[in-house]
């Protein structure tokens, strides 16, 4: 069975909301993403439960704080088993360096630019993302959360590219402005994709027919 390089975004308050989808997706996709809403609602147990079930867990907290706080939070994330953790690049290189120092051996640190996929992209925003990624590169973090339009250029800086804003051909855009299809993202150089509603609305297609 081919495992697709996809993180299923658990965008909700409780793991129980996704029990059906998780059962279907197990063995077909790489991992799941736990965001701030669920982590705030269920706490570390959300990650621990998913790890017990054998999932790779991407903890998307977008940490943005002083170096000591980012360092402590990174260490805590590793202790509960998170495999990937997001940190805002705007926290500064000292905070990114601190996270790198204490992360667990299996954890990957992903930098996040302030120019997220929910914003319309212009040449100015594109330059902002590049500048953020160049700063993050100085701290030798593992990779970045990369908007679809910036994948090719960012691949020259990082070996690990995780891309949100993924939509199947017939999907609506919803709140995302910077989007692409799974096939185009992988072709451009993305290593992993983040998909939420597109999977929930088309789960049989994703499991049985989507080829990446």
Residues 20-45 pLDDT 10s: 999 999 999 999 999 999 999 999 99
Question: Is 4 labeled as catalytic in the residue annotation?
Answer: no
pLDDT category at 170 given cuts 50, 70, 90 is confident
Give the architecture (CATH level 2) of 4-208: Alpha-Beta Barrel (3.20)
Domain boundaries, the chain: 4-208
Name residue, tokens 């993202």: 185
Candidates 175, 149, 178, 176; CA nearest to 161 is 149
Q: Which of 62, 71, 103, 108 is catalytic?
A: 62
CB 66 within 8 A of CB 94: no
**Predicted local confidence at residue 146, as pLDDT:** 94
Burial 123-143 (b: 16+ CB within 10 A, else e): eebbebbbebbebbbebebbb
Average pLDDT over residues 146-153: 92
CB 110 within 8 A of CB 141: yes
Average pLDDT over residues 60-77: 97
CB 147 within 8 A of CB 129: yes
Q: Is residue 169's pLDDT more than 90?
A: no
For the chain, the distance separating the N- and C-terminal CA atoms, rounded to the nearest angstrom, is 13
pTM of the model: 0.93
pLDDT category at 124 given cuts 50, 70, 90 is confident
| Mean pLDDT, rounded, of the chain | 92
| Nearest-angstrom CA–CA distance, 182 and 17 | 24
Structure tokens at 190: 């993305």
Q: Is residue 117's pLDDT more than 50?
A: no
């Amino acid at each position: 069975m081919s495992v697709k390089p996809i993180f299923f975004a658990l965008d909700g308050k409780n793991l129980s909301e996704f029990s059906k989808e998780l059962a279907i997706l197990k063995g077909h996709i790489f991992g799941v993403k736990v965001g701030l809403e669920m982590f705030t609602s269920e706490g570390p147990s959300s990650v621990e439960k998913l790890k017990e079930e054998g999932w790779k867990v991407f903890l998307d907290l977008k940490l943005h704080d002083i170096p000591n706080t980012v360092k402590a939070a990174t260490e805590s994330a590793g202790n509960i088993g998170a495999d990937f953790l997001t940190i805002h690049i705007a926290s500064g290189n000292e905070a990114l360096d601190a996270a790198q120092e204490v992360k667990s051996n299996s954890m990957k640190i992903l930098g996040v630019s302030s120019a997220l996929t929910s914003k319309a992209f212009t040449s100015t925003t594109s330059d902002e993302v590049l500048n953020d990624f160049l700063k993050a590169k100085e701290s030798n973090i593992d990779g970045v959360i990369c908007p679809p339009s910036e994948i090719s250029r960012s691949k020259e800086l990082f070996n690990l590219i995780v891309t949100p804003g993924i939509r199947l051909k017939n999907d609506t855009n919803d709140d995302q402005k910077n989007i692409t299809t799974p096939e185009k993202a992988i072709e451009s150089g993305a290593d992993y994709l983040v998909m939420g509603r597109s999977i929930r609305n088309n789960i049989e297609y994703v499991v049985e027919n989507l080829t990446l």
